Structure 1
Amino acid sequence: MGTIKQMSGELRDWIIETLRSGVSPVVIADGLVKKGFNPRYAYESLFQIVGNEAIQTTGFEDAQYQYETPEIGRKGNTIYTNDREIKVLSKVEKPFILHLDNVLSAEECEQLISLSSARLKPSKVVDSVTGEERVAPGRTSKGMYYSLMENSFIAKLEKRFEEITTYPIEHGEGLQVLNYSAGEEYKAHFDYFPTNKVDHSKGGQRIATLLLYLNDVEEGGETVFPKAGVSIVPKKGSAVYFHYTNSMGQVDRMSVHSSIPVIRGEKWVATKWIRESKIY
């Protein structure tokens, strides 16, 4: 694998001119890799140049995503942690999705809901233009965040998530807990950041999500992956893991998903977003 992770000003200028001449960013990135550049660095640098220079291109973000099996996908049908035995209920390769059972105990689900209830605020989304968080009509839940390892209970869960996903605790954002009342939803979206808004000083791109279900929903509230034809019914203590960034820095548009409206009852979930490198 290439090791070059620095780009000269002359090379950057050449890339901009070449992009403006109509050459696909994918072709340029592949050329950089052949010249010895680190694949992730090459692809992410091209993403940033395209975004920063507002160059109109085709074929980069729409290039065919190269699927790679994450480590969690090699663990078999049972995932063992220090304190739990987690069953894989179903698996989808493209996009990569694992439906997991017995990730949390009933008591842990109830404790997480109890600890979070008083701290809920209207949920926000990341603005694709500014990169800032804002309230949006497509996301009508309420939520809150825990700081990493905030207390002994959260620390225990963080350690388990590390064992499940194989990614270090420091790669994870603080656990988010969400509550959806009847009629509330989160319309179709991606969990990864816009590629020109990735902050490499703060963990870089999101690469995967572990979504945990804290209660049984009377009706509605499924997590739907429309391009994969997958619908996950919330079940207390279960979770869904999905992976959407590869080693070249590509993001998987097949990972688009939504939380459809709750029809009866309410829905509680916890979300663990994982970054490509240490955040803290």
Structure 2
Amino acid sequence: MNMTLTVLSCAPRVFEIRNFLSEKEIDHIIEIAGGIKLSESTTGDVGSNSNGKNPDTKVERKTKVRTSKNSWVAREKSPILDAVYRRAADLTRIDEALMRTRSEEEIPEFDGKRSIAETLQLVHYDPTQEYTAHHDFGYSHIDDNMQAARFATILFYLNDEHDGLVGGETAFPRYINGKTFHDLKVKPEAGKAILFYDQLPDGNMDDFSQHSAKPVIRGEKWLINLWIWDPAYKA
């Protein structure tokens, strides 16, 4: 499979990958979604104490800034979902083994053995629903020497205008370029993936990675999120 990255922005670092998911993979994910109960989306603390890898341990809050519904889909649920993780590892050039639980013998130079990739989040938006501008990263506790945080975000769009969707763009309001002061808007396209980095190359958080999900005007919007954390080496 050839994954072609198109640079949409350098500040923040945003890349577009068309046809990341095949039609059959999309159909499979939507079929799985039909058997999952969706709950009101929440916002929560994604600092290093929760480590973002178990949604049940997060401090979550219902809020008007995020009005979609969502659920969680484990990598182990099907071989197709496992393939999504493997492809994401290829895309980000991260060892696939880091995105799953490992034995003590596997990659011994890494202290932690849990996956640095969170469980896939399945998200659904109805008309008028949105997620206002926010960052995906949180801030670690001052006593945490490793300062773990979300490193990269990948969004996978599952439907588009051919399914009656109007609106629902992913927008980056702090997008910097020499031609316009308008925000960068990414239009949903079935099978397309968007990769953007929550951290700068020096490890600091990228404030420009702030983004939003614009309100759906007509139809419905389906997507899945994959959040990847920075690996923590032994001190």
**Given the two structures, how large is their TM-score scaled by the length of structure 1?**
0.64
Q: Distance in 2 between matches of 1:199 and 1:92?
A: 32
Kept in 1, the 8 Å contact 2:5–2:15? The answer is yes
Give the structure 2 partner of residue 25 of structure 1.
none
Among candidates 218, 233, 237, match of residue 191 of structure 2? 237
Alignment CA distance shift 1:190-1:157 (3 Å): same
Kept in 2, the 8 Å contact 1:85–1:102? The answer is no
**Given the two structures, how large is their TM-score scaled by the length of structure 2?**
0.75
Asked if 1:123 is matched to 2:68, the reply is: no
What letter matches 2:150 in structure 1? Answer: R
Give the structure 2 partner of residue 272 of structure 1.
226
For CA contacts below 8 A with separation 6 or more, give which structure has more relative contact order: 2
Q: Which SS does the other structure have where 2:16 is aligned? A: strand
Q: Which SS does the other structure have where 1:196 is aligned? A: coil
Q: Map 1:1-280; keep pairs closer than 5 Å.
A: 84-119=1-36, 120-127=38-45, 132-168=59-95, 169=99, 170-196=115-141, 204-217=148-161, 218-228=165-175, 229-246=183-200, 248-277=202-231
CA RMSD of aligned residues (A): 2.5
Higher strand share: 2
Alignment CA distance shift 1:191-1:198 (3 Å): farther
Aligned length: 194
- Stretch deviating more after TM superposition (242-251 or 106-115): 242-251
Q: Which runs of 5+ in 2 are unaligned?
A: 51-57, 100-114, 176-182
Residue 182 of structure 1: CA displacement?
0.9
Q: Distance in 2 between matches of 1:96 and 1:215?
A: 24
Deviation by residue 1:11-38 (Cα, 9 ceiling, x = unmatched)? xxxxxxxxxxxxxxxxxxxxxxxxxxxx
What letter matches 1:225 in structure 2? Answer: F
Kept in 1, the 8 Å contact 2:46–2:137? The answer is no
Q: Which runs of 5+ in 1 are unaligned?
A: 1-83
Q: Distance in 2 between matches of 1:267 and 1:207?
A: 25
Alignment CA distance shift 1:179-1:149 (3 Å): same
